[in-house]
Amino acid sequence: MTKALGIINIEPFYVKVEGIEDFRPISASSILGRYRVIDFVLSNMTNSGIYNIDLQVKNRPRSTIQHISRTNYNINTKKGNIRILYGEKPVVNEIYNTDIAALASNMEFFDESNAPYVIMAPSHFIYVQNFRKMLDYHIKSGNDITALYQNVNSAQEAFLMCDTFDIDKNKRIKVMNKNLGKHKHEKISLETYIMSKDLFKKLVNEAKGVSSIYSFSDILADNLDSLKVGSYCHNGYAACLSTLKAYYKASMDIKREKELHKMINDDWPIYTVTNDTCPTLYAPGSKINNSIVGNGCVIEGTVQNCVIGRNVIIKKGAVVKDSVIMPDTFINKNVKIEKCVVDRLAIITHIKELKGTAEDPLYIGRGDRI
């Protein structure tokens, strides 16, 4: 067992996933047909031997609670558990709804852990990372804090408003800024940090004293000169699901066989709720190409380059291209859908064509009848 307390942080101010977040946080949203976004960070922790995890929730927590309560992420409950923590104080304005406010209100629960280290990770990123190796590096390096980052060459259009790092030859972070899309190449923070629990508590209390709207990244930036803040490079796929476009692009990217096998395999399983549903029925005449299709579907039409959730019905003559279709959706005969994100329980029956673009995917709301 890794001697660290896992903390899943709430999403920051810049996360605004249009439409989807009207019904649940992005962390509780469907991804790749069968998972939820939060399954990735929780599986990273449990696969790394972290069995005591505190999950901070921000707004609209129902979907998160329902999902977590049905999934144990391979945790032996005699040795550990996942605990859901809420902000204890009412928020009069969203600017006060920061991770520091949430962490401070739950400090007594973090004190219950006897783990000497804290590994804090975000709920709105998707990546696969062995935190045990990262913790070993942190201890050997003598860093006060170790932050996870990735070298990206698409910073002009992706990871906008995420933190960027300037790193010296000793792998120490010297400057933090926000990614405003000015440069193609950036070292992007994955908002994942390892530190001692004592230092974690000190920084949270210090941030409270500086400003009521401070975030953890703010107090980290303030302490770059006084603390040894080291870096740890992530080499695999990573995505920040901060907008509808980013969610759509990540779904299309991970769907590719090469990326999918890197992220989900027998050596690093992604745990989620197991649904006792029948296999998907592919009717005679149906055509499926380069798509992920969940269980329990009935496919009579054409599906190309899509992610299809569980229990979706696509009738004869319908053509669905380059789209994300969430669970329990019904698409009627001869309907054409392209570059759309269709939320769960939607019924598309009367209109014959829905079309978005890769830059601006068309969103169809949860339970909408079109």
Residue 369: C-alpha distances to residues 56, 317, 353, 357 (Å): 34, 19, 14, 21
* pLDDT for res 185: 97
Q: Tell me the C-alpha distance between 318 and 314, whole Å.
A: 6
Q: How far is CA 278 from each of CA 40, 173, 270, 298, 309, rounded to the nearest angstrom? A: 25, 51, 21, 10, 13
Q: Which structural domains are found in the chain, ordered by start?
A: 4-263 (3.90.550.10), 281-364 (2.160.10.10)
pLDDT at 87: 67
Compute the average pLDDT of residues 7-17: 93
pLDDT value of residue 92:
63
Q: What does the DSSP 8-state code read for residue 95?
A: G
Q: pLDDT tens, 177-201? A: 999 999 999 999 999 999 999 999 9
Sheet holding 336-338, edge to edge: 287-289, 302-304, 319-321, 336-338, 353-355
| Calpha distance 189→159 (Å, rounded) | 9
Dist CA 150 CA 238 (whole Å): 8
Give the Cα separation of 195 and 138 in Å (integer): 8
Mean pLDDT for the chain overall: 93
Tens of pLDDT, residue by residue over 148-168, are 999 999 999 999 999 999 999
For strands 238-240 and 125-127, give the pairing: antiparallel
Which of 53, 40, 68 shows the shortest CA–CA distance to 7? 53
Residue pLDDT, tens place only, 341-353: 999 999 999 888 9
Contact 138, 230 (CB under 8 A): yes
pLDDT tens readout for residues 68-79: 988 889 887 777
Dump pLDDT digits (tens) for 258-295.
778 878 888 899 999 888 889 999 999 999 999 999 99
pLDDT, tens digit, for every residue of 77-110? 777 899 999 865 666 677 888 999 999 999 999 9
Q: How many residues does the chain have?
A: 370
Exposure string over 90-112, b if 16+ CB within 10 A, otherwise e: eeeeeeebbbbbbbbebeeebee
The answer to whether residue 44 scores a pLDDT higher than 80 is: yes
pTM of the entire structure? 0.94
The Cα 363–Cα 167 span in angstroms is: 39
Copy the structure tokens of residue 69.
């309560």
Name residue 11's amino acid: E
Please give the C-alpha separations between residue 62 and each of 46, 70, 72, 222, 248, in angstroms, as whole numbers: 23, 13, 17, 35, 23
Query: Nearest 5°: CA angle at 47, between 194 and 26?
Result: 75
- Identify the pLDDT of residue 363: 97
**Chain centroid to CA 111:** 26
d(CA 83, CA 32): 25
Q: In sequence order, which residues have a C-beta less than 8 Å from that of residue 362 and are 6 or more positions away?
A: 339, 340, 341, 354, 355, 356
Closest CA to 323 of 347, 305, 348: 305
- Counting Cα atoms < 13 Å in the Cβ hemisphere of 164 gives 22
Question: What totals of helices (H) and strands (E) does the chain contain, helices first?
Answer: 9, 28
